[in-house]
Amino acid sequence: MDSYKNSGVDVTAGYKAVELMSENVKRTKIPGVLSSLGGFGGAFEIPSGYTHPVLISGTDGVGTKLKIAFALNKHNTIGIDCVAMCVNDVLCCGAKPLFFLDYIATGKNFPEKIAQIVSGISEGCIMSECALIGGETAEMPGFYPVDEYDLAGFAVGIVERDKILNPENVKPGDILIALPSTGVHSNGFSLVRKLLQPSEELLTPTKIYVKDVLPVMNYIKTIAHITGGGFYENIPRSLPKNLKAEINLKSIKILPVFEKIQRAGNLELDEMFHVFNMGVGMVLISSPDNADKILNNINNSYVIGEVVKGDNGILLI
């Protein structure tokens, strides 16, 4: 034990971390969880009531936003970002998140810090109405700096096969509805960190849209999660090849943080829309007949454009 500890790995710290995080994990338990923390795998029973259930999976990390958490020594919200990046993607397929697993790799295991990270992950799972059923904490001295860590996650959701959202159902005249973001979310931070000093504003967690979107899922044709690549990369993924999104630039409620970034880097507006969400974290596409049902049920949602004929892509007008 001492030889391993002298090499930089303290297994007793690992035991302590599991002990500290266990209460947060328990907070996320929902019907279907069959396993407890500490096993070799997480077990979750597929819910009843589905005719032809399909499991939808998604995995992601937080990226260099972690550097902001390191600089501010604040670690209890970054886990929300990790959950959000995964469950929001699963949601884009029409699926309800069921469970989540995390992976934390660090240069040195400080149990209290790990517990803070997991508290954010647990909070994200509660926001998503899914369970944290497992994970892995790896202490890797010499690979990561002592005070730093990486964070990634994996989510699984469920949807009826005939309810999976399909871009081929989108038609000309369908409406683009924006759901506001809470800020930069979790992409573009390699650029942000060059332009702005670390701040609490930059650490604002990524918005989780599960509770907003699931109740109106029957009125939605497709969904775009605006992450890395901004508008230009993500919105076309929710459209068929022969259609494009025509977006009214003046309709977009750009958040002040993006104006700060643009000024600091003297960036063209077009580049901003290629990199950032600009205040729109998710775009829902619906028929004109169903648009009001969404707008009336999701607070602060608003129309930003429509689908038109043309090569797959977006047009800012």
The Cα–Cα gap between 280 and 181 comes to 5
Answer with the residue of higher pLDDT: 22 or 137.
137
pLDDT beyond 60 at 11 = no
* Contacts by residues 271-276 (CB-CB < 8 Å, ≥ 24 positions apart): 272/230, 273/230, 273/231, 273/232, 273/316, 274/229, 274/230, 274/231, 274/232, 274/233, 275/187, 275/188, 275/191, 275/229, 275/230, 276/184, 276/187, 276/188, 276/230
Q: Is 61 helix (H, G, I), strand (E, B) or coil?
A: strand
- What is the per-residue pLDDT across 30-48, written as a single tens digit (0 to 9) for each? 788 886 666 778 888 899 9
Instruction: Decide: residue 289, CB within 10 A, 0-12 exposed, 13-18 middle, 19+ buried.
Output: exposed
DSSP 99: E
Per-residue pLDDT at 19: 67
Count Cβ atoms below 10 Å from residue 143 Cβ, excluding itself: 12
State pLDDT tens for residues 104-121: 999 999 989 999 999 999
Sheet (strand 96-106) strand order: 53-61, 149-160, 96-106, 131-139
- Render pLDDT for 262-313 as a digit per residue (tens, 0 to 9): 999 999 999 999 999 999 999 999 999 999 999 999 999 999 999 999 999 8
Counting residues of the chain whose pLDDT is more than 90, the rounded percentage is 84
Calpha distance 302→305 (Å, rounded): 10
In this structure, the number of other CB atoms found within 10 A of the CB of residue 237 comes to 14
Confidence of residue 156 (pLDDT cuts 50, 70, 90): very high
CA 254 vs CA 86, 147, 178, 315: distances in Å: 24, 35, 11, 17
pLDDT at residue 6, rounded to an integer:
56
Mean pLDDT of the residues in the chain: 92
% of the chain at pLDDT higher than 70: 91
Residue 4 pLDDT exceeds 60: no
pTM for the model: 0.92
Average pLDDT over residues 233-245: 96
